[in-house]
Structure 1
């Protein structure tokens, strides 16, 4: 049957500039006439996908099924020869990265707004990933944005909707559509990376005294978690909760932190569960939390790097290098220094890690925003990090058969070797853009004039004084492609090694989000009582000084952050 290609007249929409993770707006914005079609056509106008294979998937959020059909119609009209689509349009972000790489696809279009809420009144997103499986670099996203500003028409074919509920192949106009099992390839990948027999042996032996709980927050990872924890590791069904993926995430906020993953925190504390974990809407973030034991993302990636030799993937191939995003604590730097490994500080955004991985210089990396991963794919990977922790705990208990080793034991040992980087992040979400820009402008003025240098600031509650050593705007020159990324966040460092970072985030759908990061290092030689005190105590004075220095509350017009992690 012939499906003629038609050109549909349209007009540009303002504001279709992709951020660090694609274009994110409210659902109602994407539902405007031609809005989604314009952006999809702009993607195809910016890449040479004729005769190529494109992967399509996403986190299953509201408006995904309709958008998949839109991509199929426009992509086919633009000459895509084959589409690989997750069953029911579902593919977690890590799973999609794996599919792109495994099947050597030209790229992929993912429908996700990551950890942002879903539903008809909430967020939707579209991002393009390139052939290495990672997010498109700025050279591509900038080209897409330029196309959105001049678009006059988009191509489409008139064809019936593809049934995405059945695995198999079908002809779709001039193209082929292959619907795949959303979970299978990803589980196979994890089994190749980790010591599943060791993990299973440990969990079977400690079924009663070391139960685990995974909370999917009604995001995309529910089916993946069931396949890993129940089908593969043989755990009881009670080991997972909120693992039915829903288009509105059950009305919750699928962000795995202490504020939004309260269903996990409450269940872990109420039931004395030693190992709990959660993932976000699209599956690329994670939180590790046991009874009385929260692992900061900064500590988590550093500990995985410290224990890398018990993970088969790294035991076989070695660790090429370590990296973190600039706001993330420097704990992983200490691991790299001790192990003699190259390490990097990059801007926020996984694409910067991807360049280093493709060049063979990076194996393990992480962001403080609950993103952790390795060079097995080119996205952060929530379930990968969770299984990595289970692999580490199983190995630690094999080395210590007479004592049950848990999360706190792993943390304490790490601090005794490397010291502790007390770390926290304050998020101020959907604040007025004018106030956020004024805050940044004030900090930039301090950078230009040096007005804060050598100034001393005392905490009223703790009496501690902090002397400003430097104030700068983080800039990164990529050692691989030599591109320069400027204005990546304002950093204030202090004479004792502490630092605070201010950054405007690009992951929200409206207003502005300001993030404040605070870090204070205590060496391993400090008293145990100092190393093991609650993070809120270790950081109290520094946070007070950061708020005073920046006049944050004054500029944003708020008294408290939306989220503290």
Structure 2
């Protein structure tokens, strides 16, 4: 059908600078006239010609179901039709997890993808929305592309929009908008099919058949992975429906904060500990993060989780039996537990800045197979995003494998067994959310002055002697790029660490993240409570950072 294309005059908006997690702002900001249209036009104009550009492109589109998704989907259709995009592949009702989108981009050999998500941030009319662009490898846009998008937003004078009928995204199949084809797909099917090529579903089913009393509880947190969890655990693995909770995506996530940690997933934690569940897991709003817990208050830190997955990968997961493990990588703030696995197994390993694109470079070069961030992100080279459901399935595979060797092994048993081999890296993160930005900046400026002067090196604080201090810098071994000022590090003689950095995932204010880590190879300490083991180091961190003075916060928003 013929369509008319209109050029709409517009002016730039300040602050449309995307990070590797895209552009995240309050819904009301995105609802401003021309605001979303400007940004979508900038994305399409910034698609590199090396990737084929927007004209003739195939784009994967979907999001986490949050408020304002429906309106933005229609805007994408209209601007894509005007830009000459050839095809949009969209999840039913616009629902598509970030990992599933990454897989589809790779599977369909698409030009890229537009992901409509603010990840673990709250949703609803008074909360957050987000838009990000992923490249043809399925991973987040590199800095040169996000910078290009931003440059376009600062000079944009018009956007082009096609006059096309409203698309019904609830109906599977193809629809046309001029020369643009819109294919609405089952949002879950391709992703589940991919998981079946990675994990041994028959072995997992056999474990549950032989252990009929083993109880699993998956919490979708009313985010995007609810349908994935239901299809996986109930329909594929045959577990009772009581094995899933909050599995229906809601525009406001049920009024909750869709961040899988001990604070925001407290409903899951309480049920696992009070109702006799053996294994609990949660995923976040867009499905790329995960939390693993066991019965009797067994919490698996993300740092320990990726280390344990790496330890068992070639034994418990067919994908790694077949393809091997090329290397391991972690974000800088993540504990050194993964390094210890790499050293013992003779694997190459990397410490990278926070941001999944750094892992993607290593994966594309076949130098990294398993990686993780302490912010509840775990993944492998099967896609180019972190993958919450994949991590949960990896853990279930490990539980099935360990129980075949040692029946009755719990999550806590697996943790303790790991510590006996590698020692324990006690690790915790304190988040101070929505602090006043200038105070946070002043705190970091003071810390940089201390580090640049070398004043703390050799000094002893609370029994910990400082070995070195820096603001982490990373020289990417693949593309040669240098990323500076990635986080303050204070490293002690006993390998204990304090890390302080500002997070860019919030939509307003600043989030200060304070990380503390202490290693022990004393088996008598392995069962100690994390906060008790770390308290002396936490006290040192608060003393050196003067965090309360600069932020006015006496207590963190979240402790993990």
What range describes the TM-score normalised by the shorter chain of this pair?
A: over 0.9
CA distance in 2, matches of 1:130, 1:317: 24
CA distance in 1, matches of 2:461, 2:395: 39
| 1:497-516 superposed Cα distances (whole Å, 9 cap, x missing partner) | 10100011010000001100
State the shift of 1:398 in Å.
1.0
Within a 5 Å distance, the mapping from 1:389-468 to structure 2 comes to: 389-400=395-406, 403-458=407-462, 465-468=463-466
Match of 2:236 among 211, 226, 232: 232
CA distance in 2, matches of 1:243, 1:206: 24
Q: Could you tell me which residue of structure 2 aligns to residue 373 of structure 1? A: 379
Q: Could you tell me which residue of structure 2 aligns to residue 303 of structure 1? A: 308
CA distance in 1, matches of 2:220, 2:181: 33
Match of 2:152 among 143, 147, 151: 147
Report the 3-state secondary structure (helix = DSSP H, G, I; strand = E; otherwise coil) of the residue aligned with 1:149: helix
The answer as to whether partners of 2:291 and 2:376 remain within 8 angstroms in 1 is yes
Q: Could you tell me which residue of structure 2 aligns to residue 24 of structure 1? A: 24
Q: Could you tell me which residue of structure 2 aligns to residue 538 of structure 1? A: 533
Within a 5 Å distance, the mapping from 1:241-280 to structure 2 comes to: 241-280=245-284
Report the 3-state secondary structure (helix = DSSP H, G, I; strand = E; otherwise coil) of the residue aligned with 2:528: coil
The answer as to whether partners of 1:20 and 1:507 remain within 8 angstroms in 2 is no
CA distance in 2, matches of 1:457, 1:394: 45
Match of 2:514 among 506, 513, 516: 516
State the shift of 1:450 in Å.
1.3
Q: Is the aligned partner of 1:347 residue 2:353?
A: yes
State the shift of 1:550 in Å.
0.7
RMSD: 0.7
The answer as to whether partners of 1:93 and 1:379 remain within 8 angstroms in 2 is yes
CA distance in 2, matches of 1:356, 1:552: 35
The answer as to whether partners of 1:427 and 1:514 remain within 8 angstroms in 2 is yes
Higher alpha-carbon deviation: 465-474 or 347-356: 465-474
Scaled by the length of structure 1, the TM-score of the pair is 0.97
CA distance in 1, matches of 2:83, 2:444: 42
Q: Is the aligned partner of 1:76 residue 2:81?
A: yes
CA distance in 2, matches of 1:407, 1:426: 24
Within a 5 Å distance, the mapping from 1:207-218 to structure 2 comes to: 207-208=212-213, 210-218=214-222
State the shift of 1:456 in Å.
1.6
Q: Could you tell me which residue of structure 2 aligns to residue 502 of structure 1? A: 500
The answer as to whether partners of 1:447 and 1:471 remain within 8 angstroms in 2 is yes
State the shift of 1:529 in Å.
2.3
Report the 3-state secondary structure (helix = DSSP H, G, I; strand = E; otherwise coil) of the residue aligned with 2:443: helix
Report the 3-state secondary structure (helix = DSSP H, G, I; strand = E; otherwise coil) of the residue aligned with 2:513: strand
Q: Could you tell me which residue of structure 1 aligns to residue 333 of structure 2? A: 327
Report the 3-state secondary structure (helix = DSSP H, G, I; strand = E; otherwise coil) of the residue aligned with 2:93: helix
Match of 1:52 among 47, 54, 57: 57
CA distance in 2, matches of 1:12, 1:414: 54
State the shift of 1:468 in Å.
1.5
The answer as to whether partners of 2:433 and 2:512 remain within 8 angstroms in 1 is yes
- Structure 1: 5+ residue stretches without partners: 459-464
Q: Could you tell me which residue of structure 2 aligns to residue 462 of structure 1? A: none
Q: Could you tell me which residue of structure 1 aligns to residue 484 of structure 2? A: 486
CA distance in 2, matches of 1:120, 1:324: 35
The answer as to whether partners of 1:20 and 1:506 remain within 8 angstroms in 2 is no
Report the 3-state secondary structure (helix = DSSP H, G, I; strand = E; otherwise coil) of the residue aligned with 1:88: strand
Report the 3-state secondary structure (helix = DSSP H, G, I; strand = E; otherwise coil) of the residue aligned with 2:257: coil
| 1:375-410 superposed Cα distances (whole Å, 9 cap, x missing partner) | 00000000000010000010111112xx30110111
| 1:463-506 superposed Cα distances (whole Å, 9 cap, x missing partner) | xx111111101000111100111110010011121010001101
CA distance in 2, matches of 1:237, 1:207: 15
| 1:23-79 superposed Cα distances (whole Å, 9 cap, x missing partner) | 000000000010001111111111112111011001010000110110111111111
CA distance in 1, matches of 2:223, 2:211: 28
The answer as to whether partners of 2:378 and 2:391 remain within 8 angstroms in 1 is yes
- Structure 2: 5+ residue stretches without partners: 48-52
Report the 3-state secondary structure (helix = DSSP H, G, I; strand = E; otherwise coil) of the residue aligned with 2:235: helix
Equivalent residues, number: 553
Show structure 1 runs of 4+ deviating over 6 A.
none
CA distance in 2, matches of 1:96, 1:119: 23
CA distance in 1, matches of 2:452, 2:377: 33
